[in-house]
Structure 1
């Protein structure tokens, strides 16, 4: 989307982003390589009649022959979370990620340097499902130069939050479900940092949760990354790192008492082949616990998936002072 006039700056994602407005993605430094350019593709903007939409911004550079060398793609999606069970679990694994930092100032979202997510107010729900805005970056390159498809750095955590919330606020206005006060982050956004020792899966403890154990084979390459640990949100993400260039999501544990985060789990059954879920009350707040895992993790869970989930819930409820809310193993 481009404004008119000889000195107008380009705008993207339904006018939410403006060229040279701050984040590196929108600045001239992204266009310093030979033949580089920034382009955008937008579906029609969100509206009361159209609650979902997608915007894509691409930054490409070319070699001397005019062939693309590197393409960085930033994708923004606005709309309700998936309805189908498998699609919802995949979405949760991608965006309710322990490698991300929680947004400050009461904004229900998560960001890291490659992606982010914010849950919109209840007024933006669609058919009982919460709406969200997600942002993610990827990179593809010329294979003969050894540049494979991979996630890409989008910017510092604060830059990602700035881009994410700009689209959220613009989209909510167009959907006519905006709150009285727009989403805004004025406090510093924590940088995401990991302690390699925290990634180890143990038979007695994983993700800093006593009793949450996995007996992995020597051939397995799995990490358990603990993330946010707060009174209304706790996260852990499991990753299969057999292919270090393309690590694969393998599972997660979530405790959510913050209402909009908890709403992301609405509609899922309490048990299926791939996940376990518990709805209870802890510290006088409705609280949801969720655990999903691939086949290898379920097989390795001690004493079994139900017992491992119960142990994780017990560890969290003891921390919060409401162990009576934990299920029987």
Structure 2
């Protein structure tokens, strides 16, 4: 019976059309285009009392020299419990989150076609937030990724009955606020040592990737990624990871900073706020991407935009 239900969710909608990935994406809407063919979905949908799910969707599109193959991987889960595993999982989760979803929604997208959206607190599993994630083999506009995430999240909450809140809505499309290669605006890190993808403009979400000058272009070319967020459901992802001690003398925050990365949590105008950094595949092993040197400079640059009083002395 469960298999039949899963098949119906994949192939049918109330109006008789086909829908894919837990029934979230109708066949005549994004991400599909006219002429797409050979659609195959391998999925395990969420259900009552089961806040886990996955879907791998593949299809072919285009003709001749414009032919292509696309694959989307959708996942619902709460991530690992063990601290080191959870830190690694969060590092991957936020690894490409450049563009926050609008209206304060607890999620983000990237031009690469990745994104994440956190479900309401009533959908938590053992105190860990449930998250819908999306990965694409081909780049997608952030607007498309955002729409797909919202549709999948709404479908997940509907099938699991984990919340009585109304469905999520995008009042306008997410769009990058900065151009590629704009400075990260981190004083003390000269532009000659790298470029970033973002500036500290959002008051509740900021992400910045810095590229080393010797790194090859491409999605794996970042030397360091910085993230700051005050969106409550995103902050909740880091619960239990920052401890109750300052990372160094003079800090007005809890957390840690070492050669492998940095994570601190602070009170910013009454809002719990998380700041994080990790080094990337193009790490230069210089002050550009050494968390002990670069992370305090990042916090200094972004804290005021997040509504924080200075978080460290001097």
Same fold (TM over 0.5): yes
Under a length normalisation based on structure 1, what TM-score does the superposition of the two structures give? 0.74
Q: Is the 8 Å Cα contact of residues 214 and 300 (structure 1) preserved in structure 2?
A: no
Under a length normalisation based on structure 2, what TM-score does the superposition of the two structures give? 0.77
Residue equivalent to 2:217: 244
What is the root-mean-square deviation in Å for CA atoms of aligned residues? 3.3
Residues 1:46 and 2:46 aligned together = yes
Aligned-partner SS, 1:27 = coil
Of 166, 173, 176, which aligns to 1:188?
A: 173
Q: Which consecutive unaligned segments of at least 5 residues does structure 1 have? A: 139-151, 199-206, 217-221
Shift of the 71–305 alpha-carbon distance from structure 1 to 2, 3 Å rule, reads same
1:239 positional shift: 4.7
Q: Give me the whole-angstrom Cα distance separating, in 2, the residues matched to 1:302 and 1:72.
A: 36
More strand by share: 1
Residue equivalent to 2:55: 55
Residue equivalent to 2:162: 177
Q: Which consecutive unaligned segments of at least 5 residues does structure 2 have? A: 1-9, 243-254
Shift of the 245–12 alpha-carbon distance from structure 1 to 2, 3 Å rule, reads same
Q: Give me the whole-angstrom Cα distance separating, in 1, the residues matched to 2:219 and 2:104.
A: 33
Q: Give me the whole-angstrom Cα distance separating, in 2, the residues matched to 1:303 and 1:133.
A: 30
Give 1:1-329 correspondences, 5 Å limit.
1-3=10-12, 8-20=16-28, 22-23=29-30, 25-29=31-35, 31=36, 36-43=37-44, 45-60=45-60, 70-85=68-83, 87-96=85-94, 100-113=98-111, 114-138=113-137, 152-154=138-140, 156-191=141-176, 193-198=178-183, 207-212=184-189, 216=193, 223-226=195-198, 229-239=201-211, 242-245=215-218, 247-269=220-242, 270-271=255-256, 273-294=259-280, 297=283, 299-301=285-287, 305-320=291-306, 322-324=308-310, 326-328=311-313
Shift of the 290–70 alpha-carbon distance from structure 1 to 2, 3 Å rule, reads same
1:191 positional shift: 4.5
Aligned-partner SS, 1:126 = coil
How many residue pairs get matched?
A: 288
Q: Deviations over 1:10-35 (max 9, x none)?
A: 21111111110x21x23323x2xxxx
Shift of the 16–49 alpha-carbon distance from structure 1 to 2, 3 Å rule, reads same
Aligned-partner SS, 1:291 = strand
Q: Give me the whole-angstrom Cα distance separating, in 2, the residues matched to 1:320 and 1:61.
A: 43
